[in-house]
Structure 1
């Protein structure tokens, strides 16, 4: 490559502005011997002190996020060697690390060629590797949760079981949510734990509408009333009073274990139907743990104190004939967590696809109305042969999920996986559903837009 630096647009201006420096630099260059005759140390010093560097970064396609190569070109204007001399490329000692955005901001609207050249499955796998939780951070967070939340729950369970009827099992905890399903992405900073009370001996349910029931204590006279402070009317258990009682138990549990100034700071607050405990270490690490009070009546029936959701289209065989404030919502979190935790074999990709989907739908404002629970339901309703969900088919299965989501939005119907008579899209405005459908269709049809969204996840 032959370049004449004097033809550069800024050459004449720079040397005319500093004539004395121009003469000095030219004389110094002319006094040097050609580079190919110099010793290595002398040559490096010559380049470092006399000539500016031009840095060009090139990122190899095979290692897009963890490796970088730096090429340094030095132009020499030497009267004795009448051509530009370029140094040989040298590999940088420092890797080029992809920029991260903690606030989910779009880092670039330009997708590099090396990413667009990858197969779709490879793009998805690369995104999944980026989204996957750090093992060391996850392990540390789980240790904190088990240590401190475990101590709090032990105190809570002791008070709950004080009046436990004979034959009922002790109160236990169930680890649920995305952290234990294997679909969490980002940081291991959110945990969901259910405090499960065995109500099989002294509590009955009266189903009022799909997914909701009224709970009442058994009226047999020899059974103790362990929830006497939470009753309303004719032995019905008031979910609001139950949550108030549970909140007080958690607060007392925190007061018992918060004895050392070296311990993390524990704070309790209300978080919808849950009692949230925040664990904050001195180094700034913060973890939110949602404790959800749950009453179990049999092996598959769990109820939580979540408010009643009035669906737009009520099933014809059901009608609401009681106070909505007295209803308990049926929960399938325990079953869902166990199903998703074991849904993939040695090389399955169901959870990998769900993790990438959740990231895409959370980052895109136009898709936020289609929640993680909606995505999970779509996946659960797509059980197919095991060999179709192998990791090598991740691209095809991801497309199938997008197509299924598009079909549900077009029909404005997504049946609940365990209660198919319930439509999870009821209550969402039709114009909102249509906007989400158009955005999903764009991701299906527009390869460049799909590449851009996936690249943002890196």
Structure 2
């Protein structure tokens, strides 16, 4: 973190703007450098993966740059990235069934048609690697998350096995520049860590399949989820019909997670101080060590607020918005409930311990009260709670 020079602040708005500049805002030079490293390395890794596995190559993988950094919600440094690896099955997607009948919340079963099952038997497609897909489905033709993830990990492992090893890391040379790499499986992603001198970049490669709603634009991937708790008729889908399924592991190996990154991005568009306020709340989360309060929980809270407010609301001062959303977060923690934005039946906080939520809520109450009492005569009190090394305040 940067060190803020000691100075006198007239009001808490100045303090929040200073913290936003020194602790939240991403350095443009660092961002440009890391993006160049990221895209260079991933392009080469994807090329090697395609060369190593005919099936992976046959599914025409392409990278989609999503996640908090590309949504403008990353705090501090551009060192963590989420990248979708979008794969395409050579079948008619209208014959795929996404069935949520016996699933919970934003999960679905993926039931593949007979033409998928024939891919492993056809001479033409079996030569392209589709023999590996023969055991991907159960007797009811549901696509297995476990078997799919295992195959995806094998593709990454095969690609990395082609690289030399030095000091326990794989070595990749691109245009006479040396990068050191490590890889591991993490949730639905394959996490690749890139080392370049003292610079370290973590990349989550998330394999996905993309679909479009039937009511959306023309597409060969139109498909509707059956009996889903997600309301696909909401206005967010009117101009953003594409959505994804990702292999997030659960107790049921046949459940795939539905995700809606483009719709969420549209909700945040042109909302003025929306992103700055959200990032400051994330900063406070980190400094106060609310470790299990996931970024997506905070994002969901903001998405619900954006739905209930007009555009003018987000034109308020940054300090007003941050304090307002802190109070919202405090209240939701007290009631131990933040609803999933796409599936309101799902309480995102349900797996957290009740006493943990109460402790966090009480801590936020103390912070809010302390700020309210001192914000006029001592606005620098904000540094005490939003920075790792507190400014010199009482």
Q: TM-score interval w.r.t. the shorter chain?
A: 0.7 to 0.9
1:122-174 Cα deviation digits (max 9, x unpaired) = 1111111012111111111111111111222244467446555xxxxx43222
Evaluate the alpha carbon distance shift between residue 231 and residue 276 of structure 1 in structure 2; reply closer, same or farther with a 3 A threshold.
Answer: same
- The 5-angstrom pairing of residues 411-422 of structure 1 reads 411-422=335-346
Residue 252 of structure 1 is matched in structure 2 by 158
Structure 1 residue 307 corresponds to structure 2 residue 235: no
Contact preservation (8 Å) 2:56, 2:155:
no
Larger radius of gyration: 1
Residue 326 of structure 1 is matched in structure 2 by 254
Residue 183 of structure 2 is matched in structure 1 by 268
- The 5-angstrom pairing of residues 429-440 of structure 1 reads 429-440=353-364
| 2:46 counterpart SS class | helix
1:221, 1:336 → 2: CA distance?
31
1:32-72 Cα deviation digits (max 9, x unpaired) = xxxxxxxxxxxxxxxxxxxxxxxxxxxxxxxxx9xxxxxxx
1:177, 1:220 → 2: CA distance?
33
1:385, 1:136 → 2: CA distance?
35
Structure 1 residue 397 corresponds to structure 2 residue 321: yes
Query: Which of these residues, 11, 15, 18, is aligned with residue 119 of structure 1?
Result: 11
Aligned-residue Cα RMSD (Å) equals 2.8
Structure 1 residue 187 corresponds to structure 2 residue 102: no
1:202, 1:412 → 2: CA distance?
41
Contact preservation (8 Å) 1:389, 1:397:
yes
Deviation for aligned residue 1:451: 4.5
1:343-392 Cα deviation digits (max 9, x unpaired) = 43xxx111111111111111113x333221111111111113323322x6
Structure 1 residue 408 corresponds to structure 2 residue 332: yes
2:116, 2:320 → 1: CA distance?
61
Residue 374 of structure 1 is matched in structure 2 by 297
Residue 3 of structure 2 is matched in structure 1 by 98
1:289, 1:435 → 2: CA distance?
33
Residue 240 of structure 1 is matched in structure 2 by 146
Evaluate the alpha carbon distance shift between residue 151 and residue 339 of structure 1 in structure 2; reply closer, same or farther with a 3 A threshold.
Answer: farther
Residue 293 of structure 1 is matched in structure 2 by 207
Deviation for aligned residue 1:430: 1.4
Evaluate the alpha carbon distance shift between residue 294 and residue 338 of structure 1 in structure 2; reply closer, same or farther with a 3 A threshold.
Answer: farther
Evaluate the alpha carbon distance shift between residue 259 and residue 418 of structure 1 in structure 2; reply closer, same or farther with a 3 A threshold.
Answer: closer
**Taking structure 1 as the reference length, what is the TM-score of the superposition?**
0.64
1:285, 1:440 → 2: CA distance?
34
Contact preservation (8 Å) 1:203, 1:297:
no
Query: Which of these residues, 299, 311, 318, is aligned with residue 386 of structure 1?
Result: 311
Q: Which runs of 5 or more structure 2 residues have no equivalent in the other structure?
A: 121-129, 164-170, 213-240, 375-380
Deviation for aligned residue 1:241: 1.3
- Runs of 4+ in structure 1 over 6 Å off: none
Deviation for aligned residue 1:325: 2.2
Deviation for aligned residue 1:400: 1.6
Aligned residues: 324
Contact preservation (8 Å) 2:314, 2:321:
yes
Higher relative contact order (CA 8 A, sep 6+): 2
Evaluate the alpha carbon distance shift between residue 430 and residue 121 of structure 1 in structure 2; reply closer, same or farther with a 3 A threshold.
Answer: same
